[in-house]
Amino acid sequence: MALSIGKSAPKFKLASTDGTTLSSEQDLKGKSYILFFYPKDFTPTCTAEACEFRDQFEAFRELDIPVFGISKDTIETHLKFKKVHQLPFELLSDPDGKMCKAYDALIPLIKMPKRVTYLVNDTGKIAGVFSGMFESKEHIDAMIASLNKQTNPVK
């Protein structure tokens, strides 16, 4: 079960493909952002999902919403994955799965990340969520719909 809308997003610090350590408390404070958890670089559905985020990236950039992909893969593997697929966003490495677990994005028995995507709003709360292991495009569609609700709230 993914984290619920309205819950506080867990804080994190993870190595990024840009060569830094990304801190939600420092680098993302006061910003909305998207986190998409996925099982493994270079697998078919994970590649499709990352490429779909790449293909729709301009919509997120126009809204100043950074996108981050997260798996247990190493930074070295992430860098290859990012280069091969020309991904315009950073990938974060969670080798011990602590962040995956905090975001309820870890399959308990096999300790593999689930495919779940979150929109975190500028106050650090979950504003959108989509979970589905075999879908790729639906994650992006759900985040765009969540962003539309956030920027055009129903009164």
pLDDT at 143: 61
The domain in which residue 65 lies consists of 31-150
pLDDT (tens place) for every residue of the chain, 155 residues total: 578 899 999 999 999 999 999 999 999 999 999 999 999 999 998 999 899 999 989 888 888 899 999 999 999 999 999 999 999 999 999 999 999 999 999 888 888 898 899 999 999 999 888 876 545 555 566 666 666 555 544 33
Annotated catalytic residue: which of 14, 34, 46, 65?
A: 46
pLDDT at 154: 37
**Residues 90-110: b if buried by 16+ CB within 10 A, e if exposed:** bbbbbeebebbeebbbbeeee
Instruction: Look up residue 126 and give its two tokens.
Output: 């979950």
**Residue 119 domain-assigned (yes or no):** yes
Of residues 21, 30, 36, 20, the one with CA closest to residue 103: 36
Instruction: Examine the residue annotation and report whether 51 is marked as an active-site residue of this protein.
Output: no
CATH number, domain containing residue 78: 3.40.30.10
Total tally of structural domains belonging to the chain: 1
**Residue 100 domain-assigned (yes or no):** yes
**Residue 93 domain-assigned (yes or no):** yes
**Residue 75 domain-assigned (yes or no):** yes
Stated pTM of the model: 0.86
